[in-house]
Amino acid sequence: MLKHRIEIYLARIACILFIASLAAPGFAQGADYKIGFINSERLFREAAPAKRAQQKLEKEFAGRDAEIQKLSKQVRDLQAQLEKDGVTMSEADRRAKERDLANMS
């Protein structure tokens, strides 16, 4: 989700730069043409608006990311417990833990 928003933002910046590049030759009539290279990836990565957008998105999704990490750890712990103690557990306990694991996934 975060990556998708960043891609949309970068696509908008690319469109603006493309439109600006179409207008530029009109200003340079009679001048010698020079061909250059723009590292657009670096431009998008280091541009102030891109940095602000990245920070805003990271801040917005930090809580969700922490929650996902917590749930992921719970799933791993439950799987490990089932693998380790599944044979010695009672049938009811094992089924309950398997059900919990299925509900988490």
- Tens-digit pLDDT profile for residues 62-74: 889 899 999 999 9
User: Does 8 have pLDDT greater than 90?
Assistant: no
Spatial neighbors of 17 by CB under 8 A, at least 6 apart, are 38, 40
Sorting pLDDT into bands at 50, 70 and 90, what band is 13?
A: confident
Burial class (CB in 10 A: 0-12, 13-18, 19+), 59: exposed
Share of the chain above pLDDT 70, in %: 86
The predicted pLDDT at position 34 comes to 74
Burial class (CB in 10 A: 0-12, 13-18, 19+), 75: middle
The predicted pLDDT at position 26 comes to 60
The predicted pLDDT at position 43 comes to 82
Average pLDDT for the chain: 82
* Mean of pLDDT values over 47-64: 88
Sorting pLDDT into bands at 50, 70 and 90, what band is 37?
A: confident
